[in-house]
Structure 1
Amino acid sequence: MSLHSGLERPRGGSPAPLRRLARARVRTRAREVAIPVCTVAVLFAFYTVFSVRRHDLMLTSGYDLGIFEQAVRSYAGGHWPVASLKGPNYNLLGDHFSPITATIAPFYRIWPSALTLLVAQAFLFALAAYPLCRWAQRSVGRAAALTVGLAYGTSWGIASAVVFDFHEIAFAVPLLAFSLAALGERRWRGAVGWALPLVLVKEDLGFTLAAIGAYVAWYGSRRLGLATAVFGVAASLVEMFVVLASVNEDGYAYTQSLGGDPATGTGSVPERLLAVPQQLVWPEPKVHTLLFLAALTGFVALRSPLVLLCLPTLGWRFLSGNASYWETRFHYSAVLMPIVFAAFIDVLARRRRAAEPGGPEVRRAAKASQRASLGITAAVALIVLPLFPYRAYPDLFTTDPHVTAARAVLAAIPDGASVTASNRLVPQLTGRCDVVLLGYPQMRPRYTTQWIVSDTKAAPSGWPMSAEDEAAVLEDARAQGYRTAAEQDGVVLLERTAAAGAAP
């Protein structure tokens, strides 16, 4: 035995050094992922708490959280994504091509609530920080990883999306982040692999995939890049003009918003295309959006070719006659955030590589420039954070008595009932009832649901109707045979009576 042991030890090595080596590798790996993982965890917790509290305070809306919950609920039941809030038996695939939202359905079956969608979105937005932080740490350093995580996580594009319910573009944000990190590290197949699912997120993102393909073709594999670019363009065109048009009998609903005078959104597509240079800088909200994008990194990101991947999204937004697309509000800029910060990392990494062959003075100057860029980016993040939507919720952890009263009224509506509801009340019901929106043109007048519930005190905000119009609808419904079933603090619940006819 002793002879055998003696012969085996030189061949296999001592187990103690091997264990120390394994532990060292684990510690090294832990240090490498500590900042990215902690950043994701902190952002996920913040986004989740904020989103859940907004919903608990009835600050979410039927347009759009209620719509997406109806779609996911249909997927969970094994059906097409029908959203009655958009119209009777409306297939949401005829509005936007977003089959990727079906991936939430298994979780929704476990937890059938609008909160499932909000938590999923919080995770997706937070997850995008991981590849960005990892790339920044590997190529620039830990300070860069911390700064990028802070700046991305608090960026106005993500903040505006978090405070505006749930949208399918949440899936695109981490996909782009992983793809862009791979692009920056010249992992061409990985970049394309992460970007390919973008065509399942929204119909316009095929053009972003095409831009990624063009980048790969220019800087790396020409064949892979060109194939990706062709596929991306073809996918978007097929989704817009074949798939969506076949589901929606009116064709692709958003082509009508393209074309026309930059201020009015009217005119032909050729006329609008000729006015593209003007449309990039006017009207004024477009200038604000471009400046806020560039200011995220102190204008440093503009030095990277990666920033050009913003053009497909900015292009369709600025070509549109819908003024909401031009602004920094809502969720439209969320997909631009990983692009801008990836471009920022790319610039810092290029500077560092360029300084390595130089002497001590060159390296010191490069480090000073890097510290200045990181300091400016961190300062912008801290300055801009209070200016954007989070500031509108100073009482996030205080429950207003009005909310308590509204919940008591909603509790009187039985599960499975058909309900017409105010916009703010819709997502409180879509998980257990068939809901349409009170006052939406397609739903007026539609006194066919079993219940009508209106928040006359807090919900009316001018959309889809004024408080006066909503009150008039309630009076008209009473005249049509509805009776007041409950009323607390301005929240009115009407029930359809036999005199009005049986509800369908």
Structure 2
Amino acid sequence: MLTHSFDLGIFEQAVRSYAHGHLPVSEIKGPDFPILGDHFSPILALVAPVYRLWPSAMALLVVQAALVAVSVMPLAVWARRALGSAAAVVIGVGYGLSWGVASAIAIDFHEVAFAAPLLAFSLTALGTDRLRPAVYWALPLLLVKEDLGLTVAVIGLLVARRGERKLGFITAAVGLAGTVLAMLVILPSLNPAGNNGYFYFLEGSGGGAGGPGDLLYRSTVGLITPLAKTTTLLLMLAPTLFLALRSPLIWIALPTLLWRFASNLSTHWGADSHHSLVLMTIVFAAFIDALIGRRSSVGSLRRYLAGSAAITVLLLPHFPFWQLVQPATWRDDPRIAVAHRLMDRIPDGATVQASNQLVPQLTNRTSASLYGWPESRPDPQWIMVDTRVPFNQRWPLNVFQEQEALGLARAQGYLTVSSEQGFVLLKRPS
């Protein structure tokens, strides 16, 4: 019960739609909200067969872990063939334990998990001059997320630079066209709010679109300020001892960096974002390529690898994988059993609003949405609230707003079915 409605619950509802033969919708985003109008990620349909066999949010988390694990393999094999077994171990383990991977795994499920193996295979092929396979592995990125078409475009330009000019330029054109089509046609046409609904990340900090001065700032000085952006950039390059900058493959990270740092949403800037997963795949591929280009002696290679391993170890305590060695991680909270016992009283197929961390426990069998979220379906049959959520983990309601909302629900006729260990279960009268 440490997962969240945004985004695990949303993605489970999308995959559940695919698994039942429907276009993806999410009740959490809004009543029958079309997910393809939020982000263009039709590749999620590939999770549907797994979900049919295992209808649980856990299925998504396991699929994500498998995808990330697979992405280690081509990088490690490339490193072993070009640099030896020691390099394969350091790079494979370093990438697998990197902060970007840890951050992505720690914050539930996201579609970019599919990008990790596709990028790993594509960049491995590109780095070994197998240009057609590099393109074939890159093109499915267009189905992962709308911005990754720009990543495909850069891969195409590098293919052209390496000699396959026609193939490279066609790939670049397809990538650019894919992003333009998704962002300017598909997403606005499917999003209930049109352009205003999709381009939320371009809004000003006050909630309105910024003017020309704001846009100029964010496309220049704003790309490296506030400090969180520079910190993310330094952390991205540090595990490679900044050698990744010597490889042309590092240019493939540029589209992701630009849209993240130009965004006005602070959640896009930091090192605790799932968006850094694609950066880790790219930067470690660039690291291998740079080591191959700079290999002058066994001694220098060993120093580079030792430095990379040391930085990985130093960063580990500051990111989520460190939780695995903390005793508190493995202790069961007795309240969890109480929560599940109360949730079992909610019948399958019911409409329910629940607290943020309860939603993913219900999305596999009910029409679940987030309690206190203004876009949630009104007048649900059931309401379940955890009133003991720590202050710093509360969202979207604070303690006072939550108590006020519960009082209003009771005034509207909702009956208290149970109130136990901080969990409140309400039912709408028939």
Partners of 1:181 and 1:290 lie apart in 2 by 23
Give yes or no for the alignment of 1:465 onto 2:397.
Answer: yes
2:299 match: 368
Which of 417, 421, 427 does residue 489 from structure 1 map onto?
421
Q: In the alignment, is the contact (CA less than 8 A) between 1:279 and 1:319 conserved in 2? A: yes
Aligned counterpart in structure 2 of residue 147 of structure 1, from 81, 90, 105:
90
**More deviation in 74-83 or 300-309?**
300-309
Output the CA distance in 2 between the equivalents of 1:247 and 1:298. 44
- 1:135 alignment partner, SS class: helix
SS at match of 1:485: strand
Contact 1:259 1:272 in 2 (8 A): no
Q: Count matched residues.
A: 426
Q: Could you list the per-position Cα deviations for residues 234-261 of structure 1 after superposition, in whole angstroms to 9, with x for gaps in the alignment?
A: 0000011111111114224342433768
Q: CA deviation at 1:269?
A: 5.6
SS of 1:321's partner is coil
Gaps of 5+ in 2: none
- Shift, 1:281, TM fit: 1.6
Match of 1:162 among 105, 108, 116: 105
Report 1 or 2 for greater relative contact order, CA contacts < 8 Å, sequence distance ≥ 6.
Answer: 2
Call closer, same or farther: CA 1:413–1:167 in 2, change over 3 Å: same
Aligned counterpart, 1:479 = 411
Write out aligned runs for 1:66-105 (5 A): 66-105=9-48
Displacement, 1:219?
A: 1.6
Check the 8 A contact 2:218/2:262 in 1, yes or no: no
- 1:117 maps to amino acid: L
Aligned match of 1:234: 177
- Comparing 489-498 and 126-135, the one that deviates more: 489-498
Counterpart AA for 1:102: A
What one-letter code is carried by the residue in structure 2 that aligns with 1:203? E
Identity, % of aligned positions: 51
What residue is the counterpart of 2:199 in the other structure?
255
Partner of 1:401: 334
Q: Which residue of 1 aligns with 2:318?
A: 387
Q: Secondary structure at the match of 1:250?
A: coil
Structure 1 residues 416 and 249: alpha-carbon distance in aligned structure 2, compared to 1, 3 A threshold: closer
TM-score normalised according to structure 2 size: 0.95
Secondary structure of residue in 2 paired with 1:171 = helix
In structure 2, the residue matched to 1:426 is: 359
Tell me how far apart the structure 2 counterparts of residues 347 and 388 of structure 1 sit (CA, whole Å): 26
Counterpart in 1 of 2:72?
129
One-letter amino acid matched to 1:381: T
Q: Is the 8 A contact 1:264 1:321 kept in 2?
A: no
**CA–CA distance in structure 2, aligned partners of residues 265 and 190 of structure 1:** 44
Q: Could you tell me how far 1:154 is from its partner in structure 2?
A: 0.6
Q: Which residue of 2 aligns with 1:284?
A: 227
- Matching of residue 191 in structure 1 with residue 124 in structure 2: no
Q: Distance in 1 between matches of 2:307 and 2:3?
A: 34
Q: 1:436 aligns with which of 353, 356, 369?
A: 369
Consecutive unaligned residues of structure 1, counting only runs of 5 or more, are 1-57, 356-365, 499-504
Q: 2:52 aligns with which of 106, 109, 117?
A: 109
Query: Could you say if the C-alpha distance between residues 195 and 379 of structure 1 is closer, same or farther in structure 2, counting changes exceeding 3 Å?
Result: same
Displacement, 1:386? 1.3
Does the Cα contact within 8 Å between 1:176 and 1:338 map onto a contact in 2? yes
CA-to-aligned-CA distance 1:71-116 (integer Å, 9 cap, x gap): 1101111001010110011010000000000000011111110011
CA–CA distance in 1 between the matches of 2:129 and 2:67? 24
Match for residue 209 of structure 1? Answer: 152
Tell me which amino acid in the other structure corresponds to 1:390.
F
Residue 423 (structure 1) shift: 0.5
C-alpha separation between the residues in 1 aligned to 2:29 and 2:218? Answer: 33
Q: Matched residue of 2:397: which SS?
A: coil
SS in 2 for 1:443: coil
Q: 1:158-204: CA deviations, max 9, x gaps?
A: 10011100000000011000000001101000100000000000000
**Structure 2 CA distance, aligned partners of 1:222 and 1:320?**
33
Judge which range, 239-248 or 426-435, deviates more: 239-248
Q: Which has the larger radius of gyration?
A: 1
Shift of 1:369: 1.3
Deviation at 1:468, TM superposition (A): 2.1
Provide the rounded CA distance (Å) in 2 between the counterparts of 1:275 and 1:166.
29
Shift of 1:268: 3.0
Aligned to 1:34: none
Deviation of 1:277 after TM superposition, in Å, equals 2.9
User: Take 1:300 and 1:265, find their aligned partners in 2: how far apart are those partners?
Assistant: 41
Could you report, residue by residue, the CA deviation over 1:438-482 in whole angstroms, capped at 9, with x for unpaired residues? Answer: 0112238x2x11100001112762311112211221111111101
Q: Report the AA paired with residue 255 of structure 1.
A: F
The answer (yes or no) to whether the contact 2:323–2:329 under 8 Å persists in 1 is no
Cα pair 2:29 2:376 within 8 Å, conserved: no
Q: Tell me the C-alpha RMSD between the 2 structures.
A: 1.8
Preserved CA contact (<8 Å) 1:83 1:92: yes
Structure 1 moving runs of 4+ over 4 Å = 263-266
Stretch of structure 1 that moved more, 331-340 or 381-390: 381-390
What SS is found at the alignment partner of 1:381? helix
Residues 43-85 of structure 1 show CA distances to partners (whole Å, capped at 9, x for unaligned) of xxxxxxxxxxxxxxx0001111000000110111100101011
Q: 1:371 to 1:59 in 2, by over 3 A?
A: same
